[in-house]
Structure 1
Amino acid sequence: MKSRYINPFTDFGFKKLFGEEASKPMLIDFLNALLSQTNKIVDLNFKNTEQLGQTDTDRKVIYDIYCENESGEKFIVELQKAKQNYFKERTIYYSTFPIREQAEKGEWNYNLKSVYCIGILDFTFDDYENEPEKSHVVHTIKLKNQNGKIFYDKLTYIYLEMPNFKKREHELNSRLDKWLFFIRHLEDFQTIPAIFSDEIFTQAFEKAELAKFGQAELDSYENSLKNYRDLKGVIDTAFDDGKMERSKEIAKALKQNGVLIDIIIKSTGLTQEEVDKL
């Protein structure tokens, strides 16, 4: 059966749902459900997703979504479609840019605004084999000392292991549950489940409906969907312990399948120079 709605794990689908000006209410609602902050996010401003290091030798970073709320807090929201080498290191590296950009010229008291790095993962971690955390969906990480006490509360990493979310419609008991159910199953819906009756989700389904797309958008989506399927097909079967040679094999296979260079770099951890040489 042909899909009625976009696949939110594609680059096009993810940005359509959460990365456009018209999608801002959905992104705000999703972040408020995820973060459960006392002070809810009222507004967001999208920022430049391309980040450059301070020197020519620093690597360029391109976020999926980068935004700032009315209090100046920074939010990086990344979609990760398949396992890659040094994934956690990459997330930590990404978090240094919104920290460094807060530096002020002249005398400055180093009072930083909070930074949140959120990863929506279409795979599961390998770290928790035979541990209780293995079935968790939401992993929230902060800097703590040896006694488990928060050392610094303004840097937060949140990873959502989407394959671990297995709740059915009648089991959804929170706003976050609804968003995770929406993201996990959107492409499979033929009708809108009764539980999604409020205005925010009505908007989300309207933005996701393929019948409302023009031909240019449909072409862009189909290309993004092909890249997603190629990526999943190659990496899900070929990913191993993260050795450089294996990364090059994966990158070469992706390149031969016509996957975009930016996606290859993002998925393998290789540099553009390394990919160009393949």
Structure 2
Amino acid sequence: MEMHQIPCGRFIDPFTDFGFKRIFGTDANKDILIDFLNVLFEGERQVRDLTFNQNENNAQLSRFRKAIFDLCCTGADGEQFIVEVQRVRQEYFRDRCLYYAASLIRDQVGAGAAHWKYDLKPVYLVGLMDFCFEDSDNDHYLHEIRLIKKSDGRVFYNNFGLTFIEMPGFNKTEAELVTELDRWLYLFKNLSKLNDIPIGLTKPVFEKVFRVAEVCNLTKEEKMAWDAYLKAKWDNENSDAYAREQAIKEGMKEGKVEGIKEGKLSIARNMKAKGFDIETISEVTGLTPAEILTA
């Protein structure tokens, strides 16, 4: 099947690297991200404006691993936000997010600063997850982590925070949406499945999301990139299904694991040969960057 003939839904998926960055990661659409952040941090922080930063943050020493963000931006008051979208469960996702956020704190002092007073600007990381932490409660999908005093639970330092949103735990229907955050999360979870725009999502910022995310509004190059992503994703799913089926037929538990892994490695090799970046390949296959590089 030719790429331009690949069937897909009306709207792109915001949980893909392509979809998320198209909707939230450009200057032309920064009002969308500002609205979402203001809804998420309501009562804690008001974002007036945003400037997008480079997505790669090099460690001060070469032996330390650099941080590569999905989105990193700075507010008008100097506050910094990292937004990470994670579709596949990772063993050290929490650790990675903490490392990313800490790297922005570390880099607030210049190498030659002689009289810095440790006046840190706020740093927040938002993790949008298409999976749940293993220790999560079924009805608790929003995790807001702040530095608190263990003795009484009061906030000790309010300029650093991690917020994780487990999308599988959000199960409200359109009729059950009450808050603006409800509407945002419903949009995140259901955008790629919608054929019609829900009546409850007619706020101007949501209308812009639908306009930006509509497949028919993609340029020829963007449509080719989106089709290539879908084809790679389906190839991976078919490879996984085939590997599982063969492993079951053979009745070999170890062979099952090895078959699935080899299928993913094969997809990774094909995607590398076609010029896909490591982040996209990792998102599609669930492999780590190290596994992809050595595939």
Note if contact 1:254-1:264 (Cα within 8 Å) is conserved in structure 2. Answer: no
**TM-score when scaled to structure 2?**
0.81
Partner of 2:148 in structure 1? 144
Note if contact 2:142-2:165 (Cα within 8 Å) is conserved in structure 1. Answer: yes
Q: SS of the counterpart of 2:228?
A: helix
Choose which of 3, 10, 32 in structure 1 pairs with 2:9.
3
**Alpha carbons of structure 1 residues 107 and 44: separation in structure 2 relative to 1, 3 Å:** same
Choose which of 180, 191, 196 in structure 2 pairs with 1:191.
196
Partner of 2:40 in structure 1? 34
Partner of 1:210 in structure 2? 215
Larger radius of gyration: 2
Note if contact 1:255-1:264 (Cα within 8 Å) is conserved in structure 2. Answer: no
**Paired letter, 1:144:** I
Partner of 2:126 in structure 1? 118
Choose which of 57, 62, 67 in structure 2 pairs with 1:56.
62
Choose which of 154, 161, 164 in structure 2 pairs with 1:159.
164
Q: SS of the counterpart of 1:154?
A: strand
Choose which of 132, 135, 153 in structure 1 pairs with 2:139.
135
Shift of 1:68: 0.7
Note if contact 2:145-2:162 (Cα within 8 Å) is conserved in structure 1. Answer: yes
Note if contact 1:248-1:275 (Cα within 8 Å) is conserved in structure 2. Answer: no
Q: SS of the counterpart of 1:195?
A: helix
**Paired letter, 1:73:** E
Q: SS of the counterpart of 2:159?
A: strand
For 1:226 and 1:35, locate their aligned partners in 2 and report how far apart those are by CA, in whole Å.
37
For 2:202 and 2:138, locate their aligned partners in 1 and report how far apart those are by CA, in whole Å.
32
Shift of 1:232: 7.3
Shift of 1:198: 2.0
Q: Are positions 1:90 and 2:96 aligned together? A: yes
Shift of 1:214: 1.9
Residues 186-219 of structure 1, C-alpha deviations (whole Å, 9 max, x = no match): 0111111111112111111100000111221011
Partner of 1:244 in structure 2? none
Q: Which moved more, 1:138-147 or 1:209-218?
A: 138-147
Note if contact 1:32-1:41 (Cα within 8 Å) is conserved in structure 2. Answer: yes
Shift of 1:102: 0.8
**Alpha carbons of structure 1 residues 250 and 23: separation in structure 2 relative to 1, 3 Å:** farther
**Paired letter, 1:204:** V
**Alpha carbons of structure 1 residues 206 and 263: separation in structure 2 relative to 1, 3 Å:** closer
Partner of 1:277 in structure 2? 294
Partner of 1:256 in structure 2? 266
Partner of 1:173 in structure 2? 178
Note if contact 1:7-1:225 (Cα within 8 Å) is conserved in structure 2. Answer: no
Shift of 1:226: 4.1
For 2:49 and 2:238, locate their aligned partners in 1 and report how far apart those are by CA, in whole Å.
38
Note if contact 1:13-1:208 (Cα within 8 Å) is conserved in structure 2. Answer: yes
**Alpha carbons of structure 1 residues 228 and 23: separation in structure 2 relative to 1, 3 Å:** farther
For 2:133 and 2:170, locate their aligned partners in 1 and report how far apart those are by CA, in whole Å.
13
For 1:193 and 1:174, locate their aligned partners in 2 and report how far apart those are by CA, in whole Å.
15
Give unpaired runs (5+ residues) of structure 2. Answer: 1-6, 245-256
Shift of 1:150: 2.1
For 2:240 and 2:157, locate their aligned partners in 1 and report how far apart those are by CA, in whole Å.
36
Q: Are positions 1:182 and 2:187 aligned together? A: yes
Aligned length: 266
Give unpaired runs (5+ residues) of structure 1. Answer: 239-246
Partner of 1:241 in structure 2? none
For 1:152 and 1:100, locate their aligned partners in 2 and report how far apart those are by CA, in whole Å.
16
For 2:82 and 2:240, locate their aligned partners in 1 and report how far apart those are by CA, in whole Å.
24
**Alpha carbons of structure 1 residues 252 and 151: separation in structure 2 relative to 1, 3 Å:** farther
| Greater relative contact order (CA < 8 Å, ≥ 6 in sequence) | 1
For 1:79 and 1:6, locate their aligned partners in 2 and report how far apart those are by CA, in whole Å.
15
For 1:64 and 1:86, locate their aligned partners in 2 and report how far apart those are by CA, in whole Å.
17
**Alpha carbons of structure 1 residues 4 and 49: separation in structure 2 relative to 1, 3 Å:** same
Shift of 1:276: 3.2
